[in-house]
Amino acid sequence: MAMMAMCMPILPGKKEKWLEMMAKLKEEPMKSTINASRDAAGVHERSFLQETPHGDFVIITLEGDDPVASFGKMLADPTMAEFGWAEFAADVHGMDLNAPPPPPPTMVYDSKG
């Protein structure tokens, strides 16, 4: 299994909105729908909140056979539009999900590799 990690800022004043969305991810029907979209994309997602003196960040890990391809599948999944994911990402993270994605992260250290 391969793994990919990404870090995204939570814009100032948006942490509560982010936390509200994370709470919704744990409730039905969103939980089953989002989990099914990750399964269909072939990836296991984990999200972490990193609070720092310089702002808050989301750290997302994607684990699967091809996490980069899975990320693209997740973004293209029509259920993401159903939950207003593009609007949420723009408001909370300053990301335009309709723009070309940034290059995938580069692993620079692996204690097992």
Question: 10-residue block means of pLDDT along the chain (113 residues)?
Answer: 95 98 94 94 97 97 96 88 90 92 89 89
Rounded alpha-carbon distances, angstroms, from residue 51 to 8, 11, 23, 55, 86: 12, 12, 17, 6, 23
44-60, pLDDT tens digit by residue?
A: 999 999 999 999 999 99
Q: What is the pLDDT of residue 102?
A: 82
Q: What is the pLDDT of residue 98?
A: 84
Which tokens is 48 given? 């972490």
Is 29 domain-assigned? Answer: yes
Is 100 domain-assigned? Answer: no
Is 51 domain-assigned? Answer: yes
Is 11 domain-assigned? Answer: yes
Range of the domain at 62: 2-93
Is 107 domain-assigned? Answer: no
CA atoms within 13 Å, Cβ hemisphere of 1: 11
Please give the tally of structural domains in the chain: 1
Is 72 domain-assigned? Answer: yes
What CATH number is given to the structural domain containing 37? 3.30.70
